[in-house]
Amino acid sequence: MENVKQMEEKFRALLQEQDSYREALSLVQWDLRTKIPTKGTDQRAEVIGLLSQKIHQIKTSDEMKECIDQLKNQTGDAILQRAVEVCEEEYQRSSLIPDEEHRAYITLQSKSESIWQQARDEDNFELLQPYLEELVAYNKKFATYWGATTNKYDQLLDLFEPGVTTALLDQVFEQVRDGLTDLVQQISQADHQPDSHILTHYFPKEAQEKFSLDVLHRMGYDFQSGRLDETIHPFAIGINPNDVRITTRYDEQDFRMAVFGTIHEGGHALYEQNIDNALAQTPLATGTSMGIHESQSLFWENFVGRSKSFWKVLMEDFKSVAPEAFQQIDFEDFYGAVNEVKPSYIRIEADELTYCLHIMVRYELEKALIDGDLAVKDLPEAWNDKMEAYLGIRPSTNKQGVLQDIHWSGGDFGYFPSYALGYMYAAQLHHQMQQEMDVEAVIESGDFSPITSWLTEHIHQYGKVKKPLELIKEVTGSSLNASYLVTYLTNKYKAIYNL
């Protein structure tokens, strides 16, 4: 027993050291995207390299192996037990890849990401093609190391959404596709069409910031444990549980960028701020999966921020900071405009309804790349075909098409489905929340804290203790089911489009 206690201490010290490197690395990354002066970046790459290497060394160290072996199914501390489990998964994954392949892959990733930048700027897929081919080959190989025989893609999915499989995705995506294709079609032919042009008037940055800060306060974001800064590509980052920062971008011709962006990142940040303190400095003190994280940001952005109740209660505040051009906009026109549906080429600009279709395009393509017979060289054509099939529009350049996202260039195959899963989780959570409180009434009260408390109680506090599908099942009483999303979108958009 004394032995276990000592080993627990050793394990905690190891986790703490790993976490301190992670904290330093997070701060370096936040600074790199917010404050660093232009010329300061070159040398910073080496700092990132060193800190990442130290984290990797600890994860794959003999000491870590010893702790795992000694503590597995031994410690009476439930949190430590789950931490051992997570560390074991990481240890095994890393140790199954030969060191030289791991190093070569890291180099390839960073090279490929910078080539992607150039390829996108020049609309030149051929430039990126050899790198993508290598990345696909490595991912297939790694999946094999991890034990895959036929379904390699399932191994990759597991990295981002533990427990989610191709079989499950095929099923829920089919449900979404079947449920939404008709609706999208009807909307495109509807007589009543909201017009988002009424929103694109000059709106000074300071006024956008004021409104965004007000919303963050109402959401319960703790400014003593965080801050809001400007960046180019907005993100939220948990530097430590009491230092969770949000970034946003202001477009003075379109307030939606900053306002909905801040609410979205605020949703991510609330998750990280409200994790149980007992999990601090363990690998459990973060979101349990990419999909559950995205469910939190999308819940706030769409189920709250784009709801009618939200604008009912906040329209007066909004108008009080908005310029003259916004003062006469009719409420229903405004609400319709922030929910306008319009098939578009770029995923991150997509509306709530067509967003999942963008994800399906990527999901089917990456599945075919890893387990099917799609060759990288045929990707641009395959992309455009799928866009035409699902969204009825065909990109005329690769910049508008396959080159728009960085994910594949960073070797992230299996990541995209998390975005759609986030929507489905959010809709299912929203449905459950409705059973327990009048969500619209809460939003209309202007005090959103009951929503934050509910999410903290059911999701946030657990960090990585519970796995995503387990969490959804426990909170909602049923397995993942895409019908909640279909129902929610159908009701909402039929009303907006008078269908």
Give the CA distances from residue 474 to residues 284, 451, 456, 477, 487, in Å, rounded to whole numbers and listed in that order. 18, 18, 14, 5, 21
DSSP one-letter string for 323-370: -GGGTT--HHHHHHHTT-----S-GGG--TTTHHHHHHHHHHHHHHHH
DSSP one-letter string for 122-177: TT-HHHHHHHHHHHHHHHHHHHHHTT-SS-HHHHHHHHHSTT--HHHHHHHHHHHH
Residue 178 token pair: 């079947």
Q: Is 268 annotated as a binding residue?
A: yes
Query: Amino acid identity of 2?
Result: E
Query: Amino acid identity of 357?
Result: L
User: Which residues lie below 8 Å from residue 404, measured CB to CB, with a gap of 6+?
Assistant: 120, 345, 346, 347
The catalytic residue among 8, 265, 272, 366 is 265
Instruction: In angstroms, give the least distance from the CB of 32 to a second copy.
Output: 10
Measured between alpha carbons, how far is 224 from 192 in angstroms, rounded to an integer? 46
Return the SS3 of 384: helix
Instruction: In angstroms, give the least distance from the CB of 97 to a second copy.
Output: 24
Measured between alpha carbons, how far is 487 from 304 in angstroms, rounded to an integer? 17
Q: Are 214 and 258 in contact, with CB atoms under 8 Å apart?
A: no
Residue 340 token pair: 């306008």
| 31 versus 123: smaller Cβ distance to a second copy | 31
| 209 versus 243: smaller Cβ distance to a second copy | 243
| 210 versus 377: smaller Cβ distance to a second copy | 210
Instruction: In angstroms, give the least distance from the CB of 277 to a second copy.
Output: 11
Q: Are 264 and 296 in contact, with CB atoms under 8 Å apart?
A: no
- HSE (CB half, 13 Å, CA atoms) of 132? 25
Interacting residue ranges for a second copy, rule: CB under 8 A: 16-17, 20-21, 23-24, 27-28, 31, 35-40, 42-44, 46-47, 49-51, 222-227, 239-243, 245, 280-281
| 47 versus 96: smaller Cβ distance to a second copy | 47
Q: Are 225 and 280 in contact, with CB atoms under 8 Å apart?
A: no
Q: Are 116 and 128 in contact, with CB atoms under 8 Å apart?
A: yes
Instruction: In angstroms, give the least distance from the CB of 136 to a second copy.
Output: 32
| 149 versus 224: smaller Cβ distance to a second copy | 224
- For the chain, state the CA radius of gyration: 23
Instruction: In angstroms, give the least distance from the CB of 381 to a second copy.
Output: 43
Instruction: In angstroms, give the least distance from the CB of 282 to a second copy.
Output: 13
| 36 versus 495: smaller Cβ distance to a second copy | 36
Instruction: In angstroms, give the least distance from the CB of 223 to a second copy.
Output: 7
Q: Are 195 and 332 in contact, with CB atoms under 8 Å apart?
A: no
Return the SS3 of 246: strand
Residue 49 token pair: 């390299």
Give the largest Cα separation in the chain, rounded. 75
Instruction: In angstroms, give the least distance from the CB of 272 to a second copy.
Output: 12
265 is an active site residue: yes
| 45 versus 437: smaller Cβ distance to a second copy | 45
What 3 state SS string does 276-302 have? CHHHCCCCCCCCCCHHHHHHHHHHHHH
| 20 versus 481: smaller Cβ distance to a second copy | 20
Measured between alpha carbons, how far is 314 from 306 in angstroms, rounded to an integer? 11
User: Which residues lie below 8 Å from residue 243, measured CB to CB, with a gap of 6+?
Assistant: 225, 226
Give catalytic residue positions. 265
Per the annotation, binding residues are 264, 268, 294
Per the annotation, binding residues for Zn(2+) are 264, 268, 294
